[in-house]
């Protein structure tokens, strides 16, 4: 308890799934949290849950594909919480389709939410962190950013880009005492995973059953992934930068 005491964190996609679980865990560990999302009702709910437990939290509505929204989110975080030491670029979407099935608009949207947002948010955060003497950036990639998957062309491309963008950021900003890492979750029981079933025309139960086909024989929970994000955000990983941490129940092991 208290591994993030005194830290200020901004979490995109913080209204549900892994973002929600991480927001709650960070607050439990002592961080003040800015919950950033387009979902105002969900974001306010998460911020209120933190406040009800005696934590500090704000909600900022932002479309992380828009430069002005990203700038505003960082500015409001610094103004309301007093600084910014941790950025978790978690916002993401998936479109299950091959390149022949994808429209150009769908491709652009996936790349904007999953990759461009990391660039835009990190660009703002790095300036603040550099002035403050350092910080930590964690980006949400995926196991499918390390290996390919079926009917997920744009998603795989976007998450592969996040992995290498993270490594480049680690090289560029290490001298400013800014660590950059990414997590690569496997199938995790979130609203996005269940949306995949709908996109593929499968029942949720049959889809989740397929997702359980890994050494641990189950899907992960948002809370389990949040624990990995906490490790990368905390001083426990003080010499870790430029890495892609796989959290997938052994799905990529074989």
Which positions are catalytic?
A: 155
* The residue to which tokens 């997938």 are assigned: 248
Query: Cα–Cα distance between 166 and 21 in angstroms, integer?
Result: 22
Let me know: does 115 contact 169? Beta carbons within 8 Å: no
Phi, psi angle pair for 246, to nearest 5°: -85, 130
Give the torsion through C-alpha atoms of 95, 252, 186, 102, to 10 deg.
0
Let me know: does 192 contact 225? Beta carbons within 8 Å: no
DSSP run (H or E) holding 36: strand 32-37
Closest by CA position to 21, among listed 32, 31, 11, 30 = 11
DSSP run (H or E) holding 19: helix 17-28
Query: Cα–Cα distance between 145 and 66 in angstroms, integer?
Result: 24
Helix, strand, coil percentages (3-state) for the chain, rounded to 5, are 50, 15, 35
The sign of the torsion formed by the CA atoms of 195, 201, 203, 208 equals: negative
């Amino acid at each position: 308890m208290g591994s993030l005491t005194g830290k200020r964190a901004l979490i995109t996609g913080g209204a549900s799934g892994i973002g929600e679980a991480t927001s709650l865990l960070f607050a439990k560990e002592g961080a003040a949290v800015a919950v950033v999302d387009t979902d105002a009702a969900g974001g306010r709910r998460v911020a209120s849950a933190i406040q009800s437990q005696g934590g500090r939290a704000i909600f900022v509505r932002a479309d992380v594909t828009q430069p002005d929204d990203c700038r505003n989110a960082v500015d409001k975080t610094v103004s309301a919480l007093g600084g910014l030491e941790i950025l978790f670029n978690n916002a993401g979407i998936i479109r299950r389709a091959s390149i022949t099935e994808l429209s150009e608009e769908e491709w652009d949207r996936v790349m904007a939410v999953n990759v461009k947002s990391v660039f835009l948010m990190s660009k703002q955060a790095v300036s603040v962190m550099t002035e403050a003497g350092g910080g930590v950036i964690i980006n949400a990639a995926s196991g499918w950013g390390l290996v390919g998957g079926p009917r997920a062309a744009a998603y795989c491309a976007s998450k592969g880009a996040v992995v290498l963008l993270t490594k480049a950021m680690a090289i560029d900003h290490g001298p400013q005492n800014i660590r950059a890492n990414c997590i690569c979750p496997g199938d995790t029981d979130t609203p996005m995973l269940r949306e995949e079933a709908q996109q593929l025309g499968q029942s949720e139960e049959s889809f989740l059953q397929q997702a359980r086909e890994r050494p641990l024989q189950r899907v992960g929970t948002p809370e389990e992934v949040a624990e990995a994000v906490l490790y990368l955000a905390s001083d426990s990983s003080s010499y870790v930068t430029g890495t892609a941490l796989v959290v997938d129940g052994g799905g990529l092991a074989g």
